């Protein structure tokens, strides 16, 4: 029977070492998603030249940015707003709506990204354990975001991610069998949308154990 284990440990100097040694989780089925996130181009980073309100503004990018009308995620040093509607006029990208952090102040450097579709399909009510991770060894300071949605495009769960070795890089593990709250319940998850803010390619991982 397939199994997984989520452990946390702490070492201090050479004299102290602690580990929670959680029991292995068993399950009957698996969900394994490994999705490449392509490197961005430098032209996708520009400036928020107009801030109308918390979820509306204009990002001025550079020639060659590649952004087109549609959904985008917007990153800046202190946050990310995802699922925004973009309207493009040459290098001026008007962004509106979405969810996540409020847009930053005018003149803040921002990166505008077209999300990558993630092929995923599972019933969150059957989860025993799930881990969601982002790996980008060429840019360990990069950030990423994942939205998991149902057939009607309603978001079941969204996750902010950082590189696996960065602070918080392995925090997105839910061991439901051990008592963690299952935040993936509700309608069946049938799709995902992911992005990152890096000019280096990265990889998103969704690893889950389920019992039907």
Q: Do residues 86 and 136 both lie within one domain? A: no
Are 111 and 76 in contact by the 8 Å Cβ rule? The answer is yes
> Pick from 113, 141, 166: which residue ends a domain?
113
Q: Do residues 155 and 181 both lie within one domain? A: yes
- Residues 212 and 208: their CA atoms lie apart, in Å, by 13
Q: What is the pLDDT of residue 11?
A: 86
Per the structure, the complete domain to which residue 104 belongs is given by 42-113
Q: What is the pLDDT of residue 19?
A: 84
Q: Do residues 179 and 87 both lie within one domain? A: no
| pLDDT of 98 higher than 80 | yes
Are 164 and 135 in contact by the 8 Å Cβ rule? The answer is yes
Q: Do residues 29 and 97 both lie within one domain? A: no
Q: Do residues 100 and 204 both lie within one domain? A: no
What's the mean pLDDT in 59-64?
Answer: 98
How do 29-37 and 99-100 pair as beta strands? unpaired
What's the mean pLDDT in 142-157?
Answer: 98
pLDDT tens-place string over residues 25-54: 999 999 999 999 999 999 999 999 999 999
Give the total number of structural domains in the chain: 2
Q: Is residue 10 part of a domain?
A: no
- Please tell me which residue, 8 or 135, carries the higher pLDDT value: 135
Q: Do residues 144 and 165 both lie within one domain? A: yes
pLDDT tens-place string over residues 155-175: 999 999 999 999 999 999 999
Q: Do residues 81 and 140 both lie within one domain? A: no
- Supply the pTM of this predicted model: 0.93
Q: Is residue 7 part of a domain?
A: no
Q: Do residues 124 and 202 both lie within one domain? A: yes
């Amino acid at each position: 029977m397939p199994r997984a284990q989520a452990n946390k440990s702490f070492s201090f100097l050479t004299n102290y070492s602690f580990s929670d040694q959680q029991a292995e989780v068993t399950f009957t089925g698996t969900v394994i998603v490994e999705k490449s996130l392509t490197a961005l181009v430098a032209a996708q980073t520009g400036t928020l030249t107009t801030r109308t309100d918390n979820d509306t503004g204009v990002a001025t990018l550079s020639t060659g940015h590649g952004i087109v009308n549609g959904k985008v995620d917007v990153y800046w040093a202190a946050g990310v707003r995802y699922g925004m509607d973009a309207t493009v006029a040459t290098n001026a990208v008007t962004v509106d709506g979405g969810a996540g952090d409020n847009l930053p102040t005018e003149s803040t450097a921002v990166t505008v990204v077209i999300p990558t579709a993630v092929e995923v399909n599972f019933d969150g009510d059957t989860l025993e354990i799930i881990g969601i991770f982002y790996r980008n060894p060429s840019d360990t300071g990069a950030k990423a975001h994942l939205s998991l949605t149902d057939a009607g495009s309603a978001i079941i769960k969204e996750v902010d991610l950082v590189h696996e070795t960065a602070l918080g890089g392995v925090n997105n593990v839910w061991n439901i069998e051990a008592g963690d709250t299952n935040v993936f319940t509700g309608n069946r998850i049938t799709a995902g949308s992911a992005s990152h803010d890096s000019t280096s390619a990265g990889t998103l991982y969704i690893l889950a154990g389920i019992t039907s």
